[in-house]
Structure 1
Amino acid sequence: MTLPFIFLSLFTSLILRFSFTIFNRRRSRNTAVGFFHPYTNDGGGGERVLWCAVRAIQDESPDLDCIVYTGDHDATPQGLMARAIDRFGVTLLSPPKVVHLYKRKWIEETTYPHFTMIGQSLGSVYLAWEALCKFTPFYYFDTSGYAFTYPLARLFGCKVICYTHYPTISSDMISRVRQGSLMYNNDALVAKSVWLSRCKIVYYTFFSFLYGMAGSCAHLAMVNSSWTKSHIEKLWGVPDRIKRVYPPCDTSGLQVLPLERSAETPSIISVAQFRPEKAHSLQLEAFSAAFKRLDSTLPKPKLQFVGSCRNKSDEERLEMLKRKALELNVNEHVEFHKNVTYRELVRLLGGAVAGIHSMTDEHFGISVVEYMAAGAIPIAHNSAGPKMDIVLDEDGQQTGFLACNVDEYADAILRIIRMPEMERLVMASAARKRARRFSEQRFYDDFKAALRPILCHVSK
């Protein structure tokens, strides 16, 4: 089935639907908020936001039913409630209702070898069509960044709310294409060709126009950082509807961990999904470079990768990292922990002297805050959220390191390993204090404050 046929069918069905359902289902819509989150098992910061958002709405408006649209066919209300507490420490007041989606393949990146962004965006409309046909809530809440679904949700009569972790397209992406930079979204073939680069710039410019039009349909848009806010305001053109709400970070649970760490084998932890933009290879290369420069009198560190796999591509990426560790001859000092429980994550964070993060233009960086709260000194990418919001001085004291390339990351790793214990404790203490600015409680307070003006449903 081709995409043109799919969207022609969707449009025809839409017209027919509204001809006989325009006055229907009002009663159920008035008491429900539907969370569009096709991957409820991704294990990342986005899933934490989902469960904290559900909990916040259950606190603020107990009369509202919470519905989760998911493409995970084994998901059940009780199972999702258990997952929220097991993986993220979030206790829901009641199990969310579940609407299963069966057209999730249309948002998989593997479905679109080329023109992936626009393919996934249009595919999300098709998936949202399935969701809204199965159940039409009064509030449609997107927690996964599928802005192209907002016009459709408004056609279904929903109030549209979103929590945007990052813009699908940004001026930074267009600039990198102009500069011929190699990245996960700009391969070598395009970077080396002037003609292909110009075509991609036109494509990105057109896509950003469509993205802005779709995003402007949101009644309320919450964004997770100063960097994301500046881009979304520029792209969507509705600054009065955009509120910055820092994502919920488990600072309270992690701050009880002791700051003292074992000096025998310094542990450097990396917490991130095994996705291409997380740049795990750079971390391995930096660790290898630091390992080679390490004084023989100092203890040998270990690097612990902790993350989840969403699909087969992520699994293959994880296997590639294992092979790369072997090639760099550091495999005996590198560990891989896949899909760990929340309790296990806390244990690993509690033993780390440092936490490494290497995604360029990370919209926020929940893992960086978690490092700081747990007492692990962060080594984060010198861009976007970590640079603008997180790894800043606290009371004049440095809270971590920012880096851009292999050498800078290697230098930061060596500085932490060579750091006297008292100096490390002072920096870790300052980092922990700064992490309190991004607590789960602050998320709940800011989230509820942003929602209150729009929660105008009839309480019956």
Structure 2
Amino acid sequence: MGNGFVIWALVTALLPLSLRFALQLLNCRRSRKRAVGFFHPYTNDGGGGERVLWCAIKAIQEESPDLECVVYTGDHDASPQSLMGRAVDRFGVELLHPPKVVHLYKRKWIEETTYPRFTMMGQSLGSVYLSWEALCKLNPLYYVDTSGYAFTYPLARIFGCKVICYTHYPTISLDMLSRVRDQSSMYNNDALIAKSIWLSRIKIIYYTFFSWMYGFVGSCAHLAMVNSSWTRTHIEKLWKIPHRTMRVYPPCDTSGLQVLPLERPTETLKIISVAQFRPEKAHTLQLEAFSVAIGKLDADLPRPKLQFVGSCRNKSDEERLQNLKIKAVELKVDADVEFHKNIIYRDLVKLLGAAIVGIHSMIDEHFGISVVEYMAAGAIPVAHNSAGPMMDIVLEEDGQQTGFLACSVDEYADAILKVIKMPEAERLTMAKAARRRASKFSEQRFYEDFKAAIRPILTHTSK
């Protein structure tokens, strides 16, 4: 009697909510717009993911001019004109016309600060709530996720959308599971957990369960585009939809950078690092390697200058940037280090055109657009020996070395010194080979491959 009463009470309480949900969903499905909705809550992150967003919108505008492009964003100051201007100013991408903007007001549910523990799960479930807000405001024919929120795909399918995604980096990877098993401390594995066998086992269970859920929701995509060989390997193992998974290299501004002269000023040697001020970008390692290189530098060689260029998404990134400045003072290299925050595209090109070395240090960087930009601009890349840079980018071109791969502080320092000490003719030979290699990842190549990937879905749906 007691159990029956409890069940009756739950059904009575949940029935109105279920009916409300069903009616709202029915209304949304009936009012579906002939549009392409881009789920990209942060349209001011300034990274390679944002470049993909603008290039993807431009590709849709060129491929299907009759489809309206809509951007779901949590940036409340965003407008069609401001986003169109941002695409040009920050990335040099000229859209055919401004995209429609749908503002989201529940973005706090996907912010990492909202979930001190079980962050991945919290953000993933929070993204479902945010996408519910988005789809209720405008239900498009095609739902395109360019930010990696795979948990929103089942909901988009329930709303009747064709789901297309461009995945830069799997939310969870088999490498992450391996590091927890090995009790390795990293930015995504707290040292306290890494030191504890029991906490590590609990996290393995959590990661295993999460990877199963991630595999299920990811398999709901009608088309999954991935940005590198490394990402494709992991996504195919997790989502198990290889016939719907295509590798489309991200758009890199190789054409605009390739016109820069390969000769560089010799009075001050410039070393550049282009990356958002996020923990996984490992800026501290770069700073320490630079300090070691300075310490080993011959007295007769000019003292180089390290330039950090990146954007800050939030307060945590701002604090990270400030800590990096403090670290430079501690290492006594602050006079040789510059910080350029949230600069416009034109200024970035100018800095790239003066650098002889470009540093990248993220472990398992899914692709590495900044590495390609270094190569296109004529700067010799020193990238992390893993994932995208190792598998796709810093490879020989016509038998000629195109850059260096490193892991430790000493390896980075040695590679930096090799470029600094390199005879000009040898540096130019390597820079030319690197530039030829970079042309394989051009913006035009992205447009061609992206359109080829989405064309079957657009053609099938229009019939």
Is the 2:169–2:231 contact (alpha carbons within 8 Å) kept by the matching residues of 1? yes
| Distance (Å, rounded) in 1 between the aligned partners of 2:302 and 2:15 | 64
1:12 CA displacement: 7.1
Distance verdict in 2 for CA 1:415–1:63, change over 3 Å: same
Matches within 5 A, 1:256-335: 256-335=259-338
Pick closer, same or farther for the CA change 1:395–1:12 going to 2, 3 Å.
farther
The match for 2:402 is 399
1:187 Cα deviation from its structure 2 partner? 1.3
Quote the Cα distance in structure 2 between the aligned partners of 1:178 and 1:458.
45
Aligned counterpart, 2:221: 218
**Structure 2 match to 1:19:** 23
Match of 1:32 among 32, 35, 60: 35
Q: Which has the larger radius of gyration?
A: 2
Q: State the alpha-carbon separation in 2 of the partners of residues 228 and 360 from structure 1.
A: 13
Q: Distance in 2 between matches of 1:239 and 1:204?
A: 23
> Which residue identity is paired with 1:281?
T
Contact 1:41/1:310 (8 A) holds in 2: yes
Alignment correspondent of 1:336: 339
Please tell me whether the aligned partners of residues 355 and 371 of structure 1 are also in contact (alpha carbons under 8 angstroms): yes
| 1:45 match | 48
> Equivalent residue of 2:458, what SS?
coil
Runs of 4+ in structure 1 deviating by more than 2 angstroms, as ranges, are 9-29, 456-460
TM-score normalised over the length of structure 1? 0.96
Distance in 2 between residues matched to 1:18 and 1:339, nearest whole Å: 44
The CA RMSD over aligned residues, in Å, is 1.6
1:140 partner SS: strand
Judging changes above 3 Å, is the alpha-carbon distance between structure 1 residues 19 and 85 closer, same or farther for their aligned structure 2 residues?
A: same
Q: Does 1:236 align with 2:250?
A: no
Match of 2:59 in 1: 56
Provide the residue aligned with 1:248 in structure 2: 251
**Distance in 2 (alpha carbons) for counterparts of 1:37 and 1:299:** 44
Structure-1 separation of matches of 2:258 and 2:379: 11
2: CA distance between counterparts of 1:113 and 1:23?
37
Rounded Cα–Cα distance in structure 1 between residues aligned with 2:14 and 2:421: 61
Partner-residue secondary structure (3-state), 1:209: helix
2:140 pairs, out of 137, 160, 181, with 137
Does residue 1:364 correspond to 2:357, yes or no? no
Match of 1:376 among 373, 376, 379: 379
* Equivalences for residues 151-190 of structure 1 within 5 A: 151-190=154-193
Aligned partner letter, 2:23: S
Q: What is the deviation of 1:18?
A: 2.7
Q: 1:135 is matched by which residue type in structure 2? A: L
Rounded Cα–Cα distance in structure 1 between residues aligned with 2:193 and 2:394: 34
- TM-score scaled by length of structure 2: 0.95
Within the alignment, does 1:71 sit opposite 2:74 as a pair? yes
Report how many aligned residue pairs link the two structures. Answer: 451
Instruction: Kindly provide the amino acid, as one letter, of the partner of residue 193 in structure 1.
Output: S
Q: 1:125 aligns with which of 124, 128, 144?
A: 128
Is the contact made by 1:247 and 1:443 (CA closer than 8 Å) also made in structure 2? yes
Q: Which residue identity is paired with 1:260?
A: E
Query: AA paired with 1:150?
Result: Y
Offset of 1:15 from its aligned partner? 4.9
Determine which of 439, 443, 446 is the counterpart of 2:446: 443
Deviations 1:393-447, CA, capped at 9 Å, x for gaps = 0000000000001000000000000000000000000000000000000000000
Q: Which runs of 5+ in 1 are unaligned?
A: 1-8
2:358 to 355, 359, 367: 355
CA drift of 1:17 comes to 3.5
Relative distance call for 1:151 and 1:13 in structure 2 (3 A) is: farther
SS at match of 1:455: helix
1:423 aligns with 426
Correspondence for 1:409 among 388, 409, 412 = 412
Partner Cα distance (1:21, 1:252) in 2: 45
What is the percentage of aligned positions where both structures have the same residue?
77
Deviations 1:14-35 (A, max 9, x none): 6523336526654642x10000
Q: 1:71 to 1:12 in 2, by over 3 A?
A: farther
Aligned partner of 1:453 in structure 2 is 456
What code does the residue aligned with 1:38 have?
A: P
Q: Shift in Å at residue 453 of structure 1?
A: 0.5
8 Å CA contact retained: 2:230, 2:387: yes
Maintained 8 Å contact 1:354/1:416: yes
